[in-house]
C-alpha cells in the first residue's frame, strides 16, 4: 500500500489465479487495456509485472477537479521539482486544505452500516468533533472525527478499503479562524 495516492493510483495484483500461465498473461494484458481506457485522467505511469501479476497505474487528475493541486504521486516517485514542499514524509496536501489521516491500520468505512447514508460527502460542512468516517480494527469501530470545522473537499479512500497508519482519508477546507 502506498499511503498518499489512492485516488490517482490503482494497484491490481493476484488476479486470475485459476488460469494457466499463458492465459494469465493474456488476461493481464486485457485488464491493463481496460483499466487504461477507464481512467478518469491521462495515463501518467503504468507498470506491469507478470511474475506474480501486478499492475500499477497512475493517472493525471481530471481537469477542473483541482487543477491547482500538485501531482499526487508518492514521495518516492515524485520528480525532483526543487523545494516546492518541505522535505520529509509529508504526502501532498493541496495548500489551504487539511488532511484527516488514519490513526491506525484497519478498514475504512464511509457509513455507519452498509447501505446507509455516508457520514459526510464532498461539499458537506462539518463541525469540530463530527464523525467523518470509521476505521475498523480488531473488530472495533474507531470513529474518525474532525479536528476543526471545515468543508469536505475530497474523500480519498473508497468504502471498505484497507488503510494504513497515517494514510490520508479525507481532505477538509478549514472554515472559521485559521489555525
Partner 1 sequence: MISRLLIANRGEIAVRIARACRELGIEVVAVYSTSDRNSAVVGLADEAVHIGSPAPRCSYLHVPNIVEAALLTGADGIHPGYGFLSEDPDFAEICASEGLTFVGPPPDVMQQMGNKATARRLMADAGLPLLPGVVEPVRTVDEGREIAGRIGYPVIIKATAGGGGRGMTVVTAAADFEDAFVTTRATARAVFRDPSVYLERYLPHARHVEVQILCDAHGNGVYLGERDCSLQRRHQKLLEEGPAGHLSPRQRADLGRLAVRGALSVGYTGAGTMEFLVDESGSAFFMEMNARIQVEHPVTELLTGVDLVREQILVAGGRRLQVRQEDIAPRGAAIECRINAEDPTRGFAPAPARLDVLHVPDGPWTRFDTGYRQGDEVSPHYDSLLGKLVVWAPDRDQAIRRMDRALAEMRVEGPGVHTTIALHRALLRHPDVNADRHDVQFLDRRLPELLARAEAVAEGPAPDLPATSHGSLQLVQTPAGVDRPDPPAVAQ
Residues that bind partner 1 (CB under 8 A): 1, 3, 52, 76, 89, 104-107, 137-138, 162, 164-167
127 or 164: whose CB is closer to partner 1?
164
Q: Closest approach of Cβ 12 to partner 1, in Å?
A: 13
105 or 111: whose CB is closer to partner 1?
105
Which ranges of 14-70 would DSSP assign to H, the alpha helix? 21-38
Q: Closest approach of Cβ 88 to partner 1, in Å?
A: 10
3 or 150: whose CB is closer to partner 1?
3
- Gap between the Cα atoms of 133 and 34, Å rounded: 31
120 or 167: whose CB is closer to partner 1?
167
Q: Closest approach of Cβ 89 to partner 1, in Å?
A: 6
Q: Closest approach of Cβ 4 to partner 1, in Å?
A: 11
How far, in Å, are 53, 86, 143, 158, 167 from residue 155 at the CA level? 28, 24, 15, 8, 12
Question: What DSSP state is assigned to residue 88?
Answer: S
Look up residue 33 and give its three cell numbers: 487495456
38, 105 Cβ separation under 8 angstroms: no
| HSE-CB for 140 with a 13 A CA cutoff | 7
Q: In what order do the strands lie in the sheet with 162-163?
A: 140-145, 131-137, 106-109, 162-163
Q: Closest approach of Cβ 92 to partner 1, in Å?
A: 15
173, 96 Cβ separation under 8 angstroms: yes
Q: What angle do CA 28, 31, 37 make, to 5 degrees?
A: 145
53 or 72: whose CB is closer to partner 1?
53
Amino acid at each position: 500500500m502506498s499511503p498518499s495516492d489512492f485516488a490517482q493510483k490503482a494497484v491490481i495484483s493476484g488476479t486470475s489465479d485459476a488460469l494457466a500461465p499463458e492465459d494469465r498473461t493474456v488476461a493481464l494484458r486485457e485488464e491493463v487495456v481496460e483499466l487504461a481506457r477507464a481512467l478518469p485522467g491521462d495515463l501518467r505511469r503504468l507498470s506491469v509485472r507478470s511474475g506474480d501479476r501486478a499492475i500499477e497505474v497512475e493517472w493525471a487528475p481530471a481537469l477542473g477537479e483541482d487543477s491547482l493541486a500538485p501531482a499526487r504521486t508518492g514521495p518516492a516517485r515524485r520528480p525532483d521539482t526543487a523545494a516546492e514542499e518541505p522535505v520529509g514524509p509529508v504526502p501532498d496536501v493541496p495548500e489551504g486544505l487539511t488532511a484527516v489521516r488514519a490513526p491506525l491500520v484497519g478498514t475504512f468505512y464511509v457509513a455507519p452500516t452498509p447501505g446507509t447514508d455516508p457520514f459526510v460527502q464532498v461539499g458537506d460542512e462539518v463541525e469540530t468533533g463530527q464523525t467523518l468516517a470509521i476505521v475498523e480494527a480488531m473488530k472495533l469501530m474507531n470513529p474518525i472525527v474532525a479536528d476543526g470545522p471545515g468543508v469536505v473537499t475530497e474523500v480519498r479512500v473508497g468504502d471498505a478499503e484497507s488503510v494504513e497508519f497515517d494514510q490520508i482519508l479525507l481532505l477538509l477546507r478549514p472554515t472559521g479562524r485559521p489555525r
